C-alpha cells in the first residue's frame, strides 16, 4: 500500500512539474508581445466573468449553481416576453403620421437579389477567429479553412431556406462596469450565434448599410460607415461653446437613458416599418423569419439553463441587430425633428434637436420646460409601440446660462435631475467648458497610475511592459485625443512619458534613448508610443473636415460666425482678420495643432486649397508660393 502511495506521489509530482514547465514556457512565449495572454494578465478577465452570487426575486443572495441559473432564466424569460396591447393597427396608424420616404428601386433590387459567391467569400474572410462558438459548436476557423468544400453548400442554403438552427442562441452575461454584480439586471448579454448564420447576416447587413446611409440622418452616428462618436461629442462641445459666448440665451441638454433598449425592440413595429417602406418581399421574409420565433439558453459559469422563447429585442452579437435597432429608432428621431413644439438650437438655416449614438440620445432644448414636456409625450407614445423604455432616474440634464432657481423649476417640471457634469459616450461633459481637461485627462492619468502600480508585480519583460502600454494605455489616450480637441502642452506629454517610462524601465535608469524607443520596429525601434505625435494626428482628423468641407452640418455649427470660408482661415495665419476666428474655443485649440503641421509640411500652397476662396481673398494667393504641376510630378518621382 505504501508503495502504491509512493508511486502515485511520484506521478503527481511529475504532472505538477510538467504543468509548471508548460506555464513557464507559456509565460516566456507570450510575455513579450500583445495578445490574449497579456490581456488576461492585465485585465483579470476571468475574475470579472465568473458569477459568484446572485440576488433572487426576494433580494436574498444565492450561491448555488442551479439556483443562480434559475434566477437568470426567470429574469430573461420575463424580459423577452412579448408585451400585449401593441396591435398592428395602432402601429400602422402611428407610422402613417411620420414622413417616411419609400426605398429607391435600385436599393430595393439590391436588397432582394440572390446572394453571390463573392459576397460569401468576403463575409467569411471578415469573420473573427478565436471566438466562442454558437450552439452548433462549429468555429469560424472551419469555414475559413474549408472554403473550397463548403462555400457552394452555403450558397445553396443562403438562397433557399433559413435553417431552424439559426433561430437558436447561447447567451453569456457580461457585468457592467462599476455595477453591483449580484444583481442580474446589472449584466449585459451577448448572443453566441452559429457561424454560418453570422456569415449570412453579415452579407445582409452590408446590403442594408447601403440603404441606411441615406435613410438615417447624420445626427445618428452609430454602426454606419464614416460615422463616429466624435461627431456627437464635437456637436455637443460646439453647442456649449456657442452658449458660453451668448449668455443671453439659455439651453438644456437632456441625456436620455434607455432601459435595455436593444432587448425591448417590438418585432411587430420593426416588421410593419419594413412593410411600409416597401423593402421588398425577399428581404422582408428574411427579417420576418429571423424575428418571429427564437429560442435561447443562458450560460452561467460554464453551465446552460433550459431553453426559453425570445419574443422581442434584437440579438446583440448579430451583425444585423444594431442596424435594425437604429432603423426603428430613426422613426423617433424623425418625429422629434418634425415636431414644432420642440424648440431646438437654431443657427441660421440649421436646427439641432438631437444627437444619437445607437441608444445614447442627447436632446438639445431651448425653452426646456415646454419642449421637454412635449418630448416626453413623444417618447411615451413611441415607447409604447416600439418598446423603448426610459429610465428617468438615470436620465440627466445639463443647462447653460440658467439660475439655480430656474434649474430647480426645470427639475420639478420634468422630474429629471439637473447636474453640472455627466459622462456621455465615454467623455465627461460639463456645463463649464474650462473643466473638460481635468475631468477627462486628469482622471485618466490617475487611473493609469493605479494600473501601472498593479502591473509592476506581473514580472513582465521589457518588451512585455511596452506591449502593456500599447495595449491598455495607448487606446485610452487615443480615444481622448480623438474626441476632445483641447490643446495639451509639452508639460503634459513630458509627465506622461515620465509616468510610463518609469514602468517600462522598472524604476531603473533608461538604457535606450526615448527617440530610439519610439521608433518603428522595422527600423530597429521598440514601438513605444510617441504621445504627442498621436495627439497631432488625432487633431488633424478634426481639421480634415475644414479641408474637405464634407461634414457640412458640423461645419455650419462650428463656423456659425465666420466671415470667410474655412480654407481662408486655414491659410490666413496671424492676420488681423483672423483674430475673431480664435475666439471660438474648439477652433482656437485645433488651429494651434494645424499651425505646427503647416510649418513642417506646407511650405507652399497645397493643391486642395479652394481656388474660389483664393480669388475672393487675393492676399492668400501668391504665385511664387503656389504648387505647380511640375512640383507634384517631382514629388511622385515621375
Burial class (CB in 10 A: 0-12, 13-18, 19+), 36: exposed
Same structural domain, 387 and 519? no
- pLDDT exceeding 90 applies to what percent of the chain? 62
Q: Rounded mean pLDDT of the chain?
A: 87
Q: Are 485 and 536 contacting, i.e. CB atoms less than 8 angstroms apart?
A: no
Same structural domain, 137 and 285? yes
pLDDT of residue 26: 57
Burial class (CB in 10 A: 0-12, 13-18, 19+), 618: exposed
pLDDT of residue 45: 45
What distance in Å separates the CA atoms of residue 136 and residue 396, rounded to the nearest whole number?
43
- Among residues 399, 430, 461, the one where a domain terminates is 430
The CA angle 528-533-536, to the nearest 5 degrees, is 150
Same structural domain, 241 and 254? yes
Instruction: Inform me whether the pLDDT recorded for 427 exceeds 70.
Output: yes
Could you tell me if residue 185 is inside a domain? yes
More confident residue, 42 or 397: 397
Residue 390 binned pLDDT confidence (cut-offs 50, 70, 90)? very high
Domain count, the chain: 4
Q: What is the pLDDT of residues 229-272, one digit of tens each?
A: 999 999 999 999 999 999 999 999 999 999 989 999 999 999 99
Residue 19 binned pLDDT confidence (cut-offs 50, 70, 90)? low
Could you tell me if residue 578 is inside a domain? yes
Short-list 385, 201, 170, 384, CA closest to 291: 201
Same structural domain, 49 and 142? yes
Q: What is the pLDDT of residues 299-314, one digit of tens each?
A: 998 899 999 999 999 9
Q: Are 566 and 546 contacting, i.e. CB atoms less than 8 angstroms apart?
A: yes
pLDDT of residue 7: 62
Could you tell me if residue 402 is inside a domain? yes
Give 301's DSSP letter: T
More confident residue, 602 or 559: 559
Could you tell me if residue 224 is inside a domain? no
Could you tell me if residue 33 is inside a domain? yes
What distance in Å separates the CA atoms of residue 528 and residue 512, rounded to the nearest whole number?
11
Name residue 169's beta-bridge partners.
Answer: 296
- What residues contact residue 450 under an 8 Å CB cut-off, 6+ apart? none
Instruction: Inform me whether the pLDDT recorded for 117 exceeds 80.
Output: yes
* Average pLDDT of the residues in 320-338: 97
- Among residues 511, 529, 547, the one where a domain terminates is 529
Same structural domain, 316 and 326? no
pLDDT of residue 621: 47
Same structural domain, 426 and 451? no
Same structural domain, 192 and 206? yes
CATH number at residue 375: 3.30.70
What distance in Å separates the CA atoms of residue 50 and residue 48, rounded to the nearest whole number?
6
Could you tell me if residue 281 is inside a domain? yes
- Among residues 278, 297, 320, the one where a domain terminates is 320
- What residues contact residue 389 under an 8 Å CB cut-off, 6+ apart? 258, 259, 260, 261, 264, 383
- Residue-number span of the structural domain to which 486 is assigned: 435-529
Same structural domain, 583 and 593? yes
Instruction: Inform me whether the pLDDT recorded for 531 exceeds 90.
Output: yes
Same structural domain, 479 and 378? no
Q: What is the pLDDT of residues 177-210, one digit of tens each?
A: 777 889 998 888 889 999 999 999 999 999 999 9
Same structural domain, 486 and 616? no
Could you tell me if residue 223 is inside a domain? no
Residue 567 binned pLDDT confidence (cut-offs 50, 70, 90)? confident
Name residue 299's beta-bridge partners.
Answer: 172, 304
Could you tell me if residue 634 is inside a domain? no
Sign of CA dihedral 595, 600, 605, 611: negative
What distance in Å separates the CA atoms of residue 350 and residue 345, rounded to the nearest whole number?
8
Q: What is the pLDDT of residues 63-75, one digit of tens each?
A: 899 999 999 999 9
By three-state DSSP, how is residue 154 classified? Answer: helix
Instruction: Inform me whether the pLDDT recorded for 472 exceeds 80.
Output: yes
Same structural domain, 60 and 200? yes
Instruction: Inform me whether the pLDDT recorded for 149 exceeds 60.
Output: yes
Same structural domain, 90 and 202? yes
Amino acid at each position: 500500500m505504501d508503495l502504491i502511495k509512493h508511486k502515485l506521489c511520484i506521478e503527481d509530482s511529475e504532472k505538477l512539474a510538467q504543468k509548471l514547465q508548460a506555464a513557464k514556457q507559456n509565460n516566456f512565449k507570450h510575455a513579450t508581445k500583445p495578445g490574449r495572454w497579456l490581456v488576461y494578465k492585465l485585465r483579470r478577465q476571468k475574475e470579472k466573468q465568473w458569477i459568484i452570487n446572485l440576488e433572487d426575486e426576494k433580494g436574498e443572495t444565492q450561491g448555488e449553481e442551479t439556483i443562480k441559473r434559475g434566477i437568470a432564466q426567470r429574469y430573461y424569460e420575463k424580459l423577452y416576453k412579448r408585451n400585449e396591447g401593441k396591435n398592428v393597427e395602432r402601429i400602422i396608424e402611428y407610422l402613417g403620421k411620420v414622413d417616411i420616404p419609400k426605398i429607391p428601386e435600385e436599393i430595393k433590387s439590391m436588397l432582394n437579389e440572390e446572394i453571390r459567391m463573392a459576397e460569401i467569400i468576403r463575409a467569411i474572410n471578415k469573420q473573427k477567429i478565436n471566438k466562442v462558438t454558437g450552439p452548433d459548436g462549429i468555429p469560424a476557423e472551419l469555414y475559413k479553412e474549408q472554403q473550397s468544400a463548403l462555400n457552394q453548400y452555403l450558397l445553396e442554403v443562403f438562397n433557399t431556406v433559413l435553417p431552424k438552427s439559426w433561430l437558436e442562441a447561447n447567451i453569456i452575461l457580461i457585468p457592467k462596469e462599476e455595477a453591483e454584480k449580484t444583481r442580474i439586471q446589472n449584466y449585459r448579454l451577448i448572443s453566441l450565434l452559429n457561424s454560418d448564420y453570422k456569415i449570412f447576416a453579415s452579407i445582409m447587413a452590408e446590403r442594408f448599410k447601403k440603404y441606411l446611409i441615406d435613410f438615417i440622418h447624420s445626427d445618428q452616428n452609430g454602426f454606419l460607415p464614416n460615422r463616429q462618436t466624435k461627431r456627437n461629442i464635437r456637436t455637443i462641445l460646439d453647442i456649449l461653446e456657442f452658449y458660453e459666448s451668448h449668455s443671453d440665451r439659455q439651453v438644456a441638454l437632456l441625456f436620455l437613458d434607455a432601459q435595455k433598449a436593444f432587448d425591448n425592440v417590438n418585432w411587430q413595429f420593426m416588421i410593419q416599418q419594413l412593410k411600409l417602406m416597401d423593402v421588398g418581399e425577399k428581404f422582408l421574409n428574411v427579417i420576418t423569419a429571423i424575428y418571429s420565433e427564437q429560442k435561447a439558453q443562458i450560460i452561467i459559469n460554464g453551465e446552460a439553463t433550459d431553453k426559453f422563447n425570445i419574443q422581442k429585442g434584437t440579438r446583440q452579437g448579430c451583425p444585423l441587430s444594431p442596424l435594425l435597432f437604429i432603423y426603428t429608432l430613426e422613426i423617433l428621431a424623425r418625429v422629434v425633428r418634425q415636431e414644432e413644439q420642440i424648440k431646438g438650437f437654431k443657427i441660421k438655416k440649421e436646427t439641432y434637436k438631437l444627437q444619437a449614438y445607437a441608444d445614447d440620445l442627447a436632446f438639445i432644448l431651448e425653452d426646456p420646460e415646454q419642449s421637454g414636456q412635449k418630448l416626453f409625450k413623444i417618447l411615451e407614445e413611441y415607447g409604447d409601440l416600439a418598446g423603448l423604455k426610459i429610465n428617468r432616474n438615470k436620465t440627466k440634464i445639463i443647462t447653460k446660462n440658467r439660475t439655480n432657481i430656474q434649474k430647480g423649476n426645470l427639475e420639478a417640471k420634468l422630474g429629471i435631475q439637473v447636474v453640472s457634469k455627466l459622462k456621455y459616450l465615454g467623455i465627461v461633459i460639463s456645463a463649464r467648458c474650462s473643466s473638460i481637461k481635468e475631468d477627462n485627462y486628469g482622471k485618466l492619468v490617475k487611473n493609469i497610475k493605479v494600473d501601472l502600480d498593479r502591473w509592476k508585480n506581473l514580472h513582465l519583460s521589457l518588451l512585455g511592459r511596452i506591449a502593456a502600454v500599447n495595449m491598455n494605455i495607448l487606446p485610452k489616450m487615443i480615444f481622448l485625443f480623438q474626441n476632445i480637441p483641447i490643446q495639451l502642452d509639452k508639460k503634459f506629454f513630458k509627465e506622461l512619458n515620465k509616468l510610463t517610462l518609469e514602468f517600462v524601465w522598472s524604476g531603473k535608469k533608461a538604457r535606450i534613448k526615448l527617440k530610439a524607443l519610439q521608433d518603428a520596429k522595422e527600423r530597429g525601434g521598440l514601438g513605444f508610443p510617441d504621445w504627442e505625435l498621436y495627439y497631432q494626428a488625432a487633431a488633424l482628423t478634426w481639421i480634415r473636415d475644414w479641408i474637405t468641407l464634407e461634414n457640412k452640418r458640423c461645419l455650419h455649427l462650428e463656423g456659425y460666425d465666420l466671415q470667410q470660408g474655412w480654407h481662408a482661415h486655414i491659410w490666413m495665419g496671424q492676420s488681423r482678420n483672423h483674430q475673431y476666428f480664435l475666439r471660438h474655443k474648439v477652433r482656437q485649440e485645433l488651429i494651434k495643432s494645424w499651425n505646427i503641421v503647416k510649418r513642417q509640411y506646407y511650405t507652399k500652397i497645397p493643391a486642395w486649397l479652394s481656388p474660389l476662396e483664393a480669388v475672393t481673398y487675393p492676399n492668400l494667393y501668391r504665385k511664387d508660393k503656389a504648387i505647380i504641376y511640375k512640383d507634384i510630378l517631382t514629388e511622385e518621382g515621375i
